[in-house]
Amino acid sequence: MEKKRKFRIAYLILTIAAVLAITSCASSAPAESPAVPEAPSSQAGASNDTSNDSLSQDASAPDVAVPDTKPDSGDAQGTALASADSEFTIYFIDVGQADSALVVCDGHAMLIDGGNAEDSSLIYAFLQAHEIDHLDYLVATHAHEDHIGGLPGALNYAAIDTAFSPVRTADGKPFASLVRYLNIQGVSLTVPHPGDVYPLGEASFKIIGPIHASDEKNNTSIVLRIVYGNTSFLFTGDAERPEEQDILNAGYELNATVLKVGHHGSDTSTTYPFLREIMPEYAVISAGQDNSYGHPADNLLSRLRDADVKVFRTDLQGTIICTSDGNTVSLSAERNPGAIPYPSDSREGNNNGNNDNAATLNDSSYYIGNLNSKKFHLPSCNTLPAEKNRILFDARETAIADGYVPCKNCNP
């Protein structure tokens, strides 16, 4: 018995010693270093080249420029502003039968197109007058002179961080001039991805087109949607029906407080399906006075009128200024603030000499409903729908009972 007791004591001592030895080894071993995340590539955003290479006309074109801030992967969504001091302004610059807009937010700026080559000095002077000597972004929506011809004026005055274009090479002197002045600043053209989101102060903008390559330059237009707080702004370049349909098929968010109307108000742009998804409160048309193209087209104006959109036109009102506080927008015109954007015959309806109908429409006891938008108007409203889209109500209560809502412009 004594022998067994001594054996058990010895076994217990050895067991305790072994446990202590293992514990000591574990505590003295060096700790495993935590995994270090791979550092982001210095070429962030460079992948923008590959998915849109089919839009480029030259496979040997130079590498695209890399923006200072990598585009967010998420959508541009309406949110409350972080700062009460934040400011947002868009200048729709009157460049005649051409396009140019300057977007400024919290000291950051983006120039979208620059008019014709003859507008180069105007763009230079406009930036100078507004003390914009640095542009975070320059957007050449597509390679037509009436959009990119005046951009060298901006490049002569302001330093550029990132320059966007749907292509890196194109025929013609205006595009060659744009590239030459960018090279002087050491900036190459960036071909953006649809879906990329970029910051602009407290605003952000998302690239939503072009989706596919096209032989028609208008349908390679960069289309972008800016979000500032709970307000939004859609710029469509000269995109026509095919590109609009591509964007619709892609399912991007399109609703906007303000629409920059496509292709100077051409009938081939801002189609009904596209407009129904946008449903803007305001629209701005950039066109030249008495231009040879007939822009804006009566059919386009009719579509905007039917959607109860308040329209501003540079051909009638000069430069248009749009401001936002993040919840509401305000637009003002350089001249003719009360200009009627619609032709008088289409605004009041073509009565074809039917004086009885004219008398009925001007009777204040009647209200005119829009069969498309389900809004009703006073007969004197300047946004009356086209004749074929009208329905008459003999009382305000009748219109409301039928599901129509009052027009915000005439407040019937």
Cβ atoms 64, 190 nearer than 8 A = yes
Cβ atoms 336, 317 nearer than 8 A = yes
Given a cut of 80, whether residue 196 has pLDDT beyond it is yes
pLDDT, position 382: 77
Query: Strand, coil or helix: what is 45?
Result: coil
Please write the tens of the pLDDT for every residue from 97-117: 999 999 999 999 999 999 999
Domains of the chain in start order, with CATH, are: 65-333 (3.60.15.10), 351-406 (3.40.10.10)
Strand ranges (DSSP E) for 252-328? Answer: 258-260, 282-285, 310-313, 320-324
Between 61 and 322, the more confident residue is 322
**Spatial separation of the C-alpha atoms in residues 219 and 263, rounded to whole Å:** 10
Instruction: State the pLDDT confidence band at 83, using cuts at 50, 70 and 90.
Output: confident
Please, how many CA atoms are within 13 Å of residue 129, restricted to the half-sphere of its CB?
Answer: 9
Q: Tokens 């935590």 appear where?
A: 34
Please, how many CA atoms are within 13 Å of residue 5, restricted to the half-sphere of its CB?
Answer: 2
**Spatial separation of the C-alpha atoms in residues 257 and 248, rounded to whole Å:** 18
* Amino acid in position 12: L
Given a cut of 50, whether residue 66 has pLDDT beyond it is no
Q: Picking from 28-32, 295-299, 341-345, which range would have the lowest pLDDT averaged per residue? A: 28-32
Stretch (H or E) spanning 28: helix 2-28
SS3 percent helix, strand, coil of the chain, rounded to 5, is 30, 20, 50
Cβ atoms 197, 204 nearer than 8 A = yes
Given a cut of 90, whether residue 390 has pLDDT beyond it is no
Query: Strand, coil or helix: what is 138?
Result: strand
Average pLDDT across the chain, whole number: 81
Q: Picking from 6-10, 160-164, 231-235, 272-276, which range would have the lowest pLDDT averaged per residue? A: 6-10
Peptide bond into 296 cis (omega under 30): yes
Region 141-170: mean pLDDT is 97
Cβ atoms 222, 141 nearer than 8 A = yes
Two tokens, residue 331: 């637009």
Region 321-343: mean pLDDT is 89
Please write the tens of the pLDDT for every residue from 115-149: 999 999 999 999 999 999 999 999 999 999 999 99
Cβ atoms 262, 240 nearer than 8 A = yes
Given a cut of 50, whether residue 77 has pLDDT beyond it is yes
Neighbours of 215 (CB within 10 A): 6
Region 66-91: mean pLDDT is 66
Neighbours of 334 (CB within 10 A): 15
pLDDT, position 70: 39
Cβ atoms 140, 113 nearer than 8 A = yes
Length of the chain: 412
Question: Where on the phi/psi map is residue 139: left (φ > 0), alpha (ψ -120 to 50), or beta?
Answer: beta
* Burial class of residue 359 in the structure, from the number of CB atoms within 10 Å of its CB (0-12 exposed, 13-18 middle, 19+ buried): exposed
Residue closest to 336 by CA, chosen among 348, 352, 319: 319
Given a cut of 50, whether residue 358 has pLDDT beyond it is no
**Spatial separation of the C-alpha atoms in residues 390 and 77, rounded to whole Å:** 35
**Spatial separation of the C-alpha atoms in residues 380 and 178, rounded to whole Å:** 48
